Amino acid sequence: RPRVLSGIQPTAGSFHLGNYLGAVRQWVALQETHDAFYMVVDLHAITVPQDPAELRANTRLAAAQLLAAGLDPERCTLFVQSHVPEHAQLAWVMNCLTGFGEASRMTQFKDKSARHGAERTSVGLFTYPVLQVADILLYQANEVPVGEDQRQHIELTRDLAERFNGRYGETFTIPSAYILKETAKIYDLQDPTIKMSKSASTPKGLVNLLDEPKATAKKVKSAVTDTDTVVRFDPETKPGVSNLLTIYSTLTGTGVAELEEKYAGKGYGALKTDLAEVVVEFVTPFKEQTQQYLDDPETLDSILAKGAEKARTVAAETLSRAYERVGFLPAK
C-alpha cells in the first residue's frame, strides 16, 4: 500500500470548512486505500504563542474532531506530533540542509510574519516548513493530502529529500502533494479572494464546524456574493457564488452544473438558504460526535497512545538511517 501522511494544527479549537473540505475529507477517503498516518501537529502550533492549558485541550479537541470526521484508528495511524520525538530530531538535520534564502521564500512565512510583526515572529515560525519536511520524510510518504496553501511546502520537501539523497545516498521517498482541484482552496465567506483560515479570517468569514449551527446558518446566508443575480460557477468574475457552489457540491455530492440548473432564475437568496441547511445538516452530527469523543478522554488518549507507538516504530527506523548517512557515531 502506498503511504500518506498529513497533519492539522490544534490551534483555534474548531476546524473550519476549509480544513475539512480541503484536507480532512481526503484523509478519511485515503485510509481505505493507503497506509495512512495522520497527526495533530502541536509542535507547529507553538510557532505562535499558545496558552499551555488551551493547547492541551485543543490537541484533544483536534483528535476528537478527526475521529468525528470519520478517521478510524483501525484503518489509520492517528497520533500527536510531540509524542514522536523523531520529528524534532530529523527537523534539525533538515534545517542544516536548507538554505536561508530558500526558507525566506516561503510565502506562508511572509504572510504570517507580516501579520504578527517582526517582534512577535519566532525563529520557529521561520523554520516551520522544514519541520514539515521532516514530518513527511520520516514516514517515507508517497502522498501528502493538503490544501493548495501547502503546495510550496511540499515542493520544498521534494527538493530537500532529493538534496539529502544526492548528498548521502538514497534514503527518502520523494513525496507528491495530493490536492483535489475542486476543494484545494475554500474561500472566506466575507472576502472570497482570500482563503478561509484559522488565523487570518474574520469570524463572519469563517465557518467553524463546532460553532452553534444557528450562527453558522446565519453566516452562510450573509456570505458576500456580487451584484449580479445569476447562479453560475465562475471563480474569476464570481468568486463568492463559486465558493458557495463548491461547498454545496462537495457536501452533497451534487455536480456544480446540476446546481446551476437548479437555481436558474432563482437568485442568490434561494441558493444561500438551501446551502445554510446543507451546512447545518453536516455540522450538527459532527459537533455531537466530537463531544462524544471528548466525553471519554481515556479512550481518546489510548487511541493516541497506540497511534504514537505505531508511528514511532516507522519514524525511529527512518531517523536512524538518516543519522547513519549523515555520519553521526552510533550510540553503543
| The dihedral sign for the CA sequence 177, 205, 81, 325 | positive
Residue among 178 and 263 whose Cβ is closer to ligand ATP: 178
Query: What's the count of helices (H) and strands (E) in the chain, helices before strands?
Result: 14, 5
Which residue, judged by CB position, is nearest to ligand ATP in the bound state?
22
Residue among 149 and 163 whose Cβ is closer to ligand ATP: 149
| Cell 464546524 sits on residue | 209
Q: In which region does residue 253 sit, left (phi positive, over 0), alpha (psi from -120 to 50) or beta (all else)?
A: left
Least distance to ligand ATP, CB of residue 12, Å: 7
Least distance to ligand ATP, CB of residue 185, Å: 5
Residue among 198 and 310 whose Cβ is closer to ligand ATP: 198
Q: Which of 314, 327, 332 is nearest to 76 (CA)?
A: 314
The strand pair at 176-178 and 143-145 is best described as parallel
Residue among 195 and 263 whose Cβ is closer to ligand ATP: 195
Residue among 129 and 307 whose Cβ is closer to ligand ATP: 129
| Coil/strand/helix, residue 37 | strand
CB count in 10 Å sphere of residue 175? 22
Task: Establish whether 10 is an annotated binding residue.
Answer: yes
Least distance to ligand ATP, CB of residue 59, Å: 12
| The dihedral sign for the CA sequence 62, 68, 72, 76 | negative
Cα–Cα dist 94/58, whole Å: 28
Task: Establish whether 235 is an annotated binding residue.
Answer: no
Task: Establish whether 302 is an annotated binding residue.
Answer: no
Residue among 8 and 39 whose Cβ is closer to ligand ATP: 8
Task: Establish whether 39 is an annotated binding residue.
Answer: no
Task: Establish whether 52 is an annotated binding residue.
Answer: no
By CB under 6 A, name the binding residues for ligand ATP: 8-9, 11, 18-19, 22-23, 146-147, 149-150, 185-186, 195-200
Least distance to ligand ATP, CB of residue 145, Å: 7
Quote the cell numbers at residue 158: 521534494
DSSP letters along 137-187, please? Answer: HHTT-SEEE--GGGHHHHHHHHHHHHHHHHHH-S-S---EEE--TTTS-PB
Least distance to ligand ATP, CB of residue 331, Å: 35
Cα–Cα dist 160/330, whole Å: 24
Task: Establish whether 18 is an annotated binding residue.
Answer: yes
Task: Establish whether 9 is an annotated binding residue.
Answer: yes
The strand pair at 76-80 and 3-8 is best described as unpaired
Least distance to ligand ATP, CB of residue 180, Å: 9
| Coil/strand/helix, residue 310 | helix
Catalytic site residues? 112, 195, 198
| Cell 530537500 sits on residue | 160
DSSP state of 24: I
Binding residues for L-tryptophan are 135
Binding residues for ATP are 9-11, 18-19, 147-149, 186, 195-199
Binding residues are 9-11, 18-19, 135, 147-149, 186, 195-199
